Amino acid sequence: MHTLLIADDERLEREALKYIIRRGTADIDNIVEAVNGREAIEAAEKNSPDIAFLDIKMPGINGVETARRLKELLPACKIVFLTAFDTFDYAREALRLGAEDFLVKPVEDERVLELLDKLVRQVQIEHKEQQIIDRTRETLQGMIRSRETELSRQLTTGFLDTNKLNDYMTLAGIKSPRLELALLAVDLESYPMRVDREQHAQVLLTRCEQLCRREMEKQGLRCISGRLQSGILMLLINGEGIDSPLSRDSAEYKDFVEGMERTVREQVSLRAKLTIENKIPDFPELERRLSRLVLPEGAGTGPSVFSLKESLLHWIESGDDDVNQVVGQVFRWLDSQAAAAAALSSLDEVLAVVRHDLFCRIPGLELPPNFRTGFHEIPEEGVEAALREILRCLRDAAGRRKVAAGHPAVTVAADVMKQRFREELSVDMVADRTGHSVSHLSRLFRQELGMSILDFLTRLRMDEAKKLLREGEMQISCIAEEVGFQDPNYFSRVFRRDTGLSPREYRLSAKSG
C-alpha cells in the first residue's frame, strides 16, 4: 500500500480529492494533508509519501519550490501539480520541474483515478527494481568483505594472491588503482602497564589497527590491514587514478606520519613508527615490497615468496622429472620463517595461487578427486612427502592436458613453435605447416588452449628468456636473439608486458630470491 500527500491551501479541494480517492481506489491507504509548502515538506519528512499532489499557487513556499525540496528529500516521490489553468505552458513547466503530470482544478474523478493508477504502477515497478538493486548491492558488499578478509589474512604472511586482489578491485569498481604499503611498527615494551603481554598485545594491536584504518579512510584510501607480531601492515588502494595524498612528494606526508604516530601514542599509549611505501607500479613490485616488509618477522634469509611462486610454476610447466631442486627451495623458504605453523599456512596460500595460475594458463586442467590441497593436520615428518606428492600431481596434470589438447592441427602447430620459437617465426609460417588458414587455425587454437597462436609463441619465448636470465650471465641483447627477437628493445617491451618487470629487473629479482 502507498502514501499520498495532498498540499493545497483550499480545504474544499483537499476534501474533494480525498473523497474521490477513497471511493475509487484501494491502492492508497494513507493520505497526508498540508495547507502550504512548509507543512508539505514537514509532512514528507515524517511520512515519506510515494506520491504528492501539490498546488502551484500556495502561500509562502509555493508548489514549485516545494516540489524541488521534496525531490531533494525523496527522489523517488512522484509529483503532480494542481493548477486552475489548463494550458500547454503549464504542462511543459510541470514536466521541466520533474513532475509526472498536472491536474486542472476542479479535478475530474476519472482523470484523478486514471493518473493515480498509472503512478501507483510506476511506484510498484520502481520498488521491485530497487529491491533487486539492494539485494545485488548487499551480495556485492558481502563478496567484497569476503575477499577483503582473505587478503587481510594473506597480507601478514608476506604473500598476496594478486588474482584475488584484482578480483577485489573489480568488485569494488576500482578502475585505475594506485597501490601503497604502510607498516606501523609498534613498541609493545613501551606500554606503561604490566599485563599478560601475549593476551593484551592482541588488544593493543587491534586498537592500533582500528586507528590506522580510520585515518587511512579519512584520506580517501581503501585500507586492507593485518596484524603482525609487533605492528600493523596495510595495503592502501587509491581508486581515483591520481597520486596518493600520502605520497612522499606531497606537503601533507610528514604531517600525516607524525600525526599518526602521535595518535597511537596518545590513544593507545604505545610508541610507534609509520613507514609508507609509495609508487608501486604493478603487482610484481607489490609482491617484492610486501615480502621485504614482512621478512624481518622471520629468520631474515631465504627465497622471496615471489621467486618461490615463479620457480614452482616454471618447474610444473617444464615437466621436469627432478623434483629435488624445487623442494629444496621450498624448504629454504620455510626455514626462513619464524613460526612453522604460520609458514605452512603461507605455503598453502602460495600453492593456491600456483593452482589458480595453472588453471588460467592451461584451460581444461583437471586434478584428481583426491588431490591434496594443503598441509592441514599433516605431522612435521610428513610435510616433505606431501609436498612432493602435490608438486608431482600438478606437473602430471599439466602434462596430461597439454598432450590431450585436442585437434591435430593444434598439436602440429604447438610442436612447430616449440621446435622453432628461437627462429624468426610468423603465424603465417605456422599455419602453412598445418595446412589450415590463419583464421581457421586461430579459432581452433582459442577453442583448445584459450589463447591466440601469437600468445602461445610469446609464452614459449618468455619462458625460455626467464630461464636464461635466471641461470646465466648472458647479455640481454643475446637472450633476445636467442629466443627469436631481432630487436632487443621490442623484446624488453614484450617481457615487461608479460612479467611486469624489465629483463634486468627480473634477473636481479631472481638472484636476490
198-248 confidence digits (pLDDT tens): 567 778 888 999 999 998 888 888 899 988 778 888 998 886 555 566 666
For cell 501539480, the residue is 81
191: cell is 606500554
Residue type, 65: E
Number of residues that make up the chain: 513
Q: What is the DSSP string of 227-267?
A: EETTEEEEEEEETBSS--TT-TTSTHHHHHHHHHHHHHHHH
Give Cβ neighbours of residue 195 (< 8 Å, ≥ 6 apart). Answer: none
Strand pairing report for 78-83 and 28-34: unpaired
Burial class (CB in 10 A: 0-12, 13-18, 19+), 459: middle
Residue type, 248: R
Query: For residues 454 and 450, what is the distance between their CA atoms, to the nearest angstrom?
Result: 12
Helix (H) or strand (E) holding 180, with range, is: strand 178-187
Half-sphere exposure of 424 (CA within 13 A, CB side): 2
Q: What is the DSSP string of 467-510?
A: HHHHH----HHHHHHHTT-S-HHHHHHHHHHHHSS-HHHHHHHH
Query: For residues 108 and 349, what is the distance between their CA atoms, to the nearest angstrom?
Result: 71
Query: For residues 393 and 386, what is the distance between their CA atoms, to the nearest angstrom?
Result: 11
Sites in the chain below the pLDDT cut of 50: 296-302
| pLDDT value of residue 297 | 42
Per-residue burial over 121-152, b if 16 or more Cβ lie within 10 Å, else e, is: eebeeeeeeeeeeeeeeeeeeeebeebbebbb
**What's the gap between Cα 320 and its chain centre?**
35
| pLDDT value of residue 45 | 94
Strand order in the sheet with 222-228: 222-228, 231-238, 178-187, 271-280
| pLDDT value of residue 359 | 75
| pLDDT value of residue 301 | 44
Burial class (CB in 10 A: 0-12, 13-18, 19+), 472: exposed
For cell 533487486, the residue is 132
Burial class (CB in 10 A: 0-12, 13-18, 19+), 110: exposed
**What's the gap between Cα 435 and its chain centre?**
44
| pLDDT value of residue 31 | 94
| pLDDT value of residue 459 | 85
Number of Cβ within 10 Å of residue 357's Cβ equals 19
Residue type, 466: K
